[in-house]
Structure 1
Amino acid sequence: MTPLAPPEGAPHRPPRLPRPQPVPRLPEPGVPLPRRPASAADFWAGVRRRGTPLLAPDPHGSPEHRAVTFLWRGSPATRAVQVLPNKLTDPRAPEGNLMTRAPGTDIWHWTVRLRDDWRGTYVFHVDDGGGPAPEDPAYWPWLRRTRRTDPHNPHTLPARWSGEPVSCAELPAAPAADDWLPRPGVARGTVTEHTLPSAHLGGARRVWLYAPPPGDRRPAAPDNASAPDTGLPVLVLLDGEHWQPRLGLAHLLDNLVADGRIPPLAAVLPDSVDAATRWRELTCRPAFAAFLAGELLPWAATLLPLTDDPARTLVAGQSLGGLTAAYAALRAPHRFGNVLAQSGSFWWPDGPSAEWLTGRIAAGPRLPIRFRLSFGTQEWVALPAARRLRDALAAAGYADAVHREFNGGHDYLCWRTELADGLVELLARGDR
């Protein structure tokens, strides 16, 4: 039987599961490589024009797959280069992501076979000397501290907490993220940063508040209970410090509203502070759920005319945030009637009470909540638990729950378009 109270003291890490299938690496690069140093200069000039990674037809003949070659230009000091595309790795065999040097050149290469709708971020780890010997057990932890961005790829996203940006690769059939780009002529909403005292969290918390363009801010609902609710729909999006200051969520909301794909809305984005706080608070903590429902939403309603209809209120998150979004709605279905969970950590906790929230859903009543779940097919740790959650929701009567799988990993590059699609599905339906 699943315990009623969330587990305490679980390790702050996901389960350490082996990768079920090997990384689909190809033995040869998808493009011809020069064999002489003089030719390498011309090769790199072409790379600068084309950008990286390089794409080539699938050597197995599938029109839906590509050979994707990642490149690094080494120096005479370079001993090794490791490329890490998101979730196209095996942590138990890090040597599988070591690049190969083309003999007699400064070209390091690594090629993988991928379906042509794949997208993902990636980084390089470059050993230019000065560290442990490769056979030393300290070598791999040291190498992980040598992260580099791809200098031949201008497409990047900000790193999650700090450091150089991560490089982005998107194959030709990958979903476009044009909705995230600012468009000329589109009315702009406003974003303000606030500090909200919280008794539940035991301190103050930064919050970003998005308001739609002034002409779209409808008046609050009258006190008459029979009158229609004219308050703004609300999105509560966790990890606000990344989604707005770094990724520019406001551009997405402006564009979706301007296109009529979602109604004008307010977005409330609380700060996750740091990784340790995130693990402490975004693991089915009653105090954090109470903060969202009992402090954050009432505070935001003092600044904007917000709906109090749970059917027009959405809580969203990714990874541990996805787990917490679902937990918050189950704790407060009178406030949150929609859950958008992306790559949610529904395996939590790693231990005897694994997949605790799925067990609570299976044992509990069907609540008035709509779920939209999405996961990457490369997420070998999260995906099995996600599919069990999908089945538990169906068995519990959540016939309108949506489960989607995309070709990618645990990655903001994928979550951006999944977030846009989820907002359209949930808010467009909920505001009719």
Structure 2
Amino acid sequence: MSSDEPQELPQTLADLSTPAFVINRHAFAENCRAVLKQVALGGIRLRPHIKTHKTVEGAFLQVCGNETNNDNGKSTSPFDENASGFVTSTLPEIELLVDAAPKLKGPFLDILYGVGISESKLSRIHALQTKLSKIDDSGKIHVMVDHPSQVEWMEQFCRNVSKSFQFSAFLKLDTGYHRAGTTCDARGVDVAMKIIQSPHVTLFGLYSHCGHAYDVNTPEDLKDIAVTDMKLITGFMDLLRERLEPMDTDFPMEKLVVSVGSTPSAFSHDTGSVSVPNLELHPGNYTLYDRQQLWTGVCPSTNHVAGRVLSRVIGHYLDRNTVLLDAGATALTKDGAPQGGVCQITGYEDESSGIVCHKMSQEVVQIKPSTEGGTMPYDQFPLGKLVTLLPNHSCLAAACFDTYYIIDDPSCQFKSDQPIVDQWIPAKGW
């Protein structure tokens, strides 16, 4: 239990105040094992993103697949041999991993801050790197760079604060998502050279995010995005080699880490067809999955959606043919999903169920019949009934809560009498 002051756990889901966030550890671990198996089959490595759950317990499962070592004593390490490190989206997430590093080490010693670095955060990165180095001198915190000014900020910081300090950087490349990243052409090579020639910044790797894979839902389209991603990156590496060749530099291209992918594309990268020696995947949402990932097809079934929002029925409105639940935008957010609807009720996921969560406000969700003229089955939703909701976007829904209640349910039914076995406390803030 990740609480500074251990508290007595509620016994079952029925004992929880709602809304609450519940994680089925059984499904969470199964999702983690599937991705670990995928990288093993591809002969590559895994740098999982922890932004979805923001917990030590979840991070541990991402890099070992189980709560305990399951290799029959063949290794002294509990971690999968293909686990290289982690990606984070906030500095408190880095702090969480660094605090766990003295006990766990392994991939907890290699952390990428996966948002473009800003000048205001350099002092905190420096302090965290100093702390991690005291735990293990091999420990590394990497920053993300896609603009020359970021390199100049780091150089100025080192001149002013610590002339011997070296920042480690991934160069962010845009391979089609068009949210962040430099271009995979001469302009991108210019940024790479700025890093390589810097006395205070080391180019550790290249990073791309296939975020546009969230917009497609066929195996062919997902495959096309993954293939294009690798084609652009390998082409960029060729351009960088050409730029370096006539120069007097000993930059080790063969050691450059290449980190690619996203949850939707995680199972679509044909790693056997490319020659990249240090290739790794960095998905994150796969730990919990959600309605969005059910739509893309990467989530095998609703049983794999490990994170749910617990809610209760608080209103019957026969004149409007609706029922009201006590979880709204502050528990689920208003992020949409291609299927429509603001969320889904466990047990009513199919269109044939006749029920749709159709409208959301700050603290409540309205449910109604999915067809015009349909009848609301009020007897199935008595006042006070406990229901669990599949979020459209689990990363955002989880971030609404300060505590996650953990169950271990192979049936994946989230029944009200399901025992609570643990609680996880996520990192909060930025």
TM-score (norm 2): 0.29
With the length of structure 1 as denominator, give the TM-score of the two structures.
0.29
